[in-house]
Structure 1
Amino acid sequence: MDEQTLIKTSLLEIFNNNGYRDFARMTQRDFEHIGEQLRLKSGILISATTIKRLAYGEFSRLPQIATLNAIANYFSYKTWQDYKADRIKNEPEIQPASKGRHKFRLTYLSILAAVCILAGIYMFSTTKRTVKNAGKAAFSFQKTTSNEIPNSVVFSYNIDQVQADSFFIQQSWDKNRRVKIDKNKYTLTDIYYEPGYHIAKLIANDSAISEVDVSIPTNGWFFYAIDNMANYTPEYIKADQFVTNGSLGLTVAQLLANRIEVNKDKRYHYVYYPDQREVPSDNFKFKTRLRMREVRRSACPYIEVELYCQRSFMILRSTTKGCAHEALVQFGEQVMPGLDTDLMSICFDVSQWTDIEILVKNKITTVKINDKEVHKTRFVTDTKYLTGLGYISNGLCEVDKTELIGLDGKVMYKNDF
């Protein structure tokens, strides 16, 4: 199998894992969803346009290594080379026939068999997607703990009158958190390992037939680390003191005290999720002053500011100008990765104190860095209310001040530390 075929085959497998059986019918939003799944697994965002182009085989040369690594990370491999080597190693060999006629016959029969199998799978999956009486399903939840992390949630459901081949409850965007459920049973206890605003789904076959919003607030700042490659298990960081010399932040000593392996490539999260949601995500102002300190040497250090909404994310990932391909801007449905967007204007030396301002007015977003306007865009998605804010980096952020205020004057968070 050559690399171009492996890329297309891998993407089709990713589509299938996310419930897209026929990628020819996928919409732009579907491709954006796949891009988000890749980002969540790898920290690397591939644009919907790039994913679509690769899936259709519309490329004459191999994509950038970051794109290939993102695909490999999805399958829990650290690099594309590791993934490719393992796939090729496990690919069944076909011994060449002694005569050209036999080789042709074997190839023809192999292709014919593959076509028949794929046709059968498609027909089976098309039939399997049929769901009846979806409107008769019941789905709700109750938290059994307060705001502790991890947090147990009891889901109540009734699918007795729904006709489908299989049923699942998926606690959030992560399909790995999908749990199979059965008729004539009515409760499922699940665990949330990360705080935040989650959308749990009741799934019949491949379709979400009901959703509930599950809020897991933090009662203040919450800290954790995640391996940057092929692992999405949080490592909690307990810190009694996290404000030093007028700045919010952690130290390497605190990481070591929490048995964090600082020699590994990790993403360090500082997040804050309040109980109440009063600031609309289409009219607010966010201002912060920050920098980062490296934990381990990195060719591309970055700081990522995330504003979490009831629907979707708002992300500004800045890095050094030499690593502009790693930058990212996302507001609602507008996803602009540095791989195929010129984001040089939002890049700066992240080791130096920098002022960032994000103003959203009637879904028009203006970004300023050190009082200079560097980016402007408009989104149309109804992202509803802001649910939290976060600082994420491959080093340790230091935050001198933060304020997140609605244009109507309502304050979600304000602190000069």
Structure 2
Amino acid sequence: MSLTEKEYIARCKQLIGEQLRLVSDDGTLRQRDLESLADSIEERSGIRLSLSTLKRLWKKDYDQVPHPSTLQALVSVLGYKDWQEFRLKQAPLPAAPVAEKPARRLNLWMILPAVAALVVFSWLIAFRSGQPASLKPVVKGPVTFTGNKTVAQGVPNTIVFNYDVRNVVADSFFFQQSWNEQERVKIDPGKHYYSAIYYYPGFHRAKLIANDSILKRFKVHITTDGWFPLAHHVSRESMPVYLPQEGSIRDGALHISTETLVASHIDVNKDFTLSYFNVREFEDTYSDNFSLDTRVILDSTNLNACPGLSLVVMCEEDIFFVCMIRKGCERNSNIKMGEVYEDGVQNDLSSFGRDLYKWQQLQIQVVNKQATISLDGQPVRTIRFKKDFGKIMGLAYHFTGPGGVDYVKLKNGKNKMVYEDEFGK
């Protein structure tokens, strides 16, 4: 008998509980287990589910089907790339037994997928840390994790982190520079300093980790002096190339020319990303109430079959972003408003397929945690989110090739213009 969607969800929760050794009382989880689960999901998927969402999911009488992005985040803990893969690899349920307790004898083929998932996931953890999958650390006292910049502003910027984990009993300790788990490195618990270079401006959240649990976070705000352009080729080994700020404004727009890119040793015949960062603390402007109005364009290029551009709003606790894509490539589009993430695979984001070689007006209006996205003055998406992500700490534009920004207007919840730039017009 095939599983229903709710039975798939129940099995997913059961496997997560076994994998993370979560203690369930009458189908619910304790506060510290919910926090640990939220951290584990964020580490593996980049999606931060709120404690209220997880608490609701683990309620004994919960019988709803969560949002697809929530399901995707959950199965990431079990090593699956998405919910569909998880479903495909689950065995069908055996016929329901009449006895009061579940039947203990199961055919091997019925449990192999779950066992295989656990074995593979445990192996991945062991491979990453060099040790078998670890238990939760035991924290017996205060834990120190702070950092100091070596330069006040700009990039590159080395942060000297100071840590003290003498009160923590764990197998392994790690430092993670930001959200990217690939930046996780092992550290010596007997020492107290670890230095990291930040090559990109932004609002980063460094992490001190024991075994696979986050002990502490430290916020790193790498600010810029106005708009800071950079480019990098699309490869993991590629370092960013910092472009000259002088000359980045031309014809009344923030628009780096192809000539400037070539002079800066960017190979314009290969795929590359051009970015503009303006990272600062915008006065009295918060994630739950603000508006942003801008106009963007992508220079014509034949290098990429599906060129796109994105606008990112950096907050203290997370980011908002909108990605527009060439018409016909809408599957590759994605948006994130608060904790709500939508991609073009499981959502209709056809409105975000645009003729990017013409100027496109993009507006984000957030009122009491309800975000409305408008393109060329027409609302195309409304999303309600629940979390408060704090102050707005930076803006960034990313283009798959040369592109420009015509103007930027940012207002706070009081409808006060806190930042406006028309680039010399």
State the TM-score, normalizing by the size of structure 2: 0.71
Unaligned runs of 5+ in 1: 1-18, 38-45, 61-110
- How far is 1:238 from its partner? 2.6
Aligned with 2:356 (options 321, 326, 350): 350
Aligned with 1:256 (options 252, 262, 273): 262
Aligned with 2:368 (options 362, 371, 380): 362
Identify if the C-alpha distance between structure 1 residues 295 and 165 changes in structure 2 by more than 3 Å, giving closer, same or farther.
same
Amino acid at match of 2:179: W
Deviation by residue 1:138-167 (Cα, 9 ceiling, x = unmatched) = 111111211131101111111112111111
Does residue 175 of the first structure (1) align with residue 205 of the second (2)? no
CA distance in structure 1 between the aligned counterparts of 2:406 and 2:196, rounded to whole angstroms: 37
8 Å CA contact 2:273–2:400 kept in 1: the answer is yes
Amino acid at match of 1:56: F
Aligned with 1:414 (options 406, 413, 420): 420
CA distance in structure 1 between the aligned counterparts of 2:289 and 2:149, rounded to whole angstroms: 31
- Please provide the CA RMSD for this pair: 3.4
Deviation by residue 1:188-234 (Cα, 9 ceiling, x = unmatched) = 22211111101111111111111111111011111222333545642
- How far is 1:407 from its partner? 1.9
What secondary structure, in the 3-state scheme, does the structure 1 residue paired with 2:196 have? strand
What secondary structure, in the 3-state scheme, does the structure 2 residue paired with 1:128 have? coil
Aligned with 1:272 (options 274, 278, 283): 278
Aligned with 1:22 (options 19, 22, 27): 19
Identify if the C-alpha distance between structure 1 residues 287 and 297 changes in structure 2 by more than 3 Å, giving closer, same or farther.
same
Deviation by residue 1:366-403 (Cα, 9 ceiling, x = unmatched) = 11111111111101122111111111111222211111
What secondary structure, in the 3-state scheme, does the structure 2 residue paired with 1:342 have? coil
- How far is 1:251 from its partner? 0.8
CA distance in structure 2 between the aligned counterparts of 1:262 and 1:379, rounded to whole angstroms: 39
Identify if the C-alpha distance between structure 1 residues 323 and 147 changes in structure 2 by more than 3 Å, giving closer, same or farther.
same
- How far is 1:23 from its partner? 8.4
- How far is 1:186 from its partner? 1.6
Amino acid at match of 1:227: H
* 1:216 alignment partner in structure 2: 222
* 2:388 alignment partner in structure 1: 382
Identify if the C-alpha distance between structure 1 residues 23 and 325 changes in structure 2 by more than 3 Å, giving closer, same or farther.
farther
8 Å CA contact 1:32–1:48 kept in 2: the answer is no
What secondary structure, in the 3-state scheme, does the structure 2 residue paired with 1:22 have? helix
Query: What percent of counterpart residues are identical?
Result: 30
* 1:308 alignment partner in structure 2: 314
- How far is 1:29 from its partner? 8.6
CA distance in structure 1 between the aligned counterparts of 2:275 and 2:389, rounded to whole angstroms: 22
* 1:186 alignment partner in structure 2: 192
* 2:344 alignment partner in structure 1: 338
Unaligned runs of 5+ in 2: 1-15, 23-35, 48-67, 73-80, 91-111
CA distance in structure 2 between the aligned counterparts of 1:120 and 1:201, rounded to whole angstroms: 22
Identify if the C-alpha distance between structure 1 residues 256 and 137 changes in structure 2 by more than 3 Å, giving closer, same or farther.
same
CA distance in structure 2 between the aligned counterparts of 1:59 and 1:120, rounded to whole angstroms: 14
* 1:58 alignment partner in structure 2: 88
What secondary structure, in the 3-state scheme, does the structure 1 residue paired with 2:354 have? coil
Aligned length: 339
What secondary structure, in the 3-state scheme, does the structure 2 residue paired with 1:256 have? helix
State the TM-score, normalizing by the size of structure 1: 0.73
Aligned with 1:152 (options 138, 142, 158): 158
- How far is 1:137 from its partner? 1.1
What secondary structure, in the 3-state scheme, does the structure 1 residue paired with 2:161 have? strand
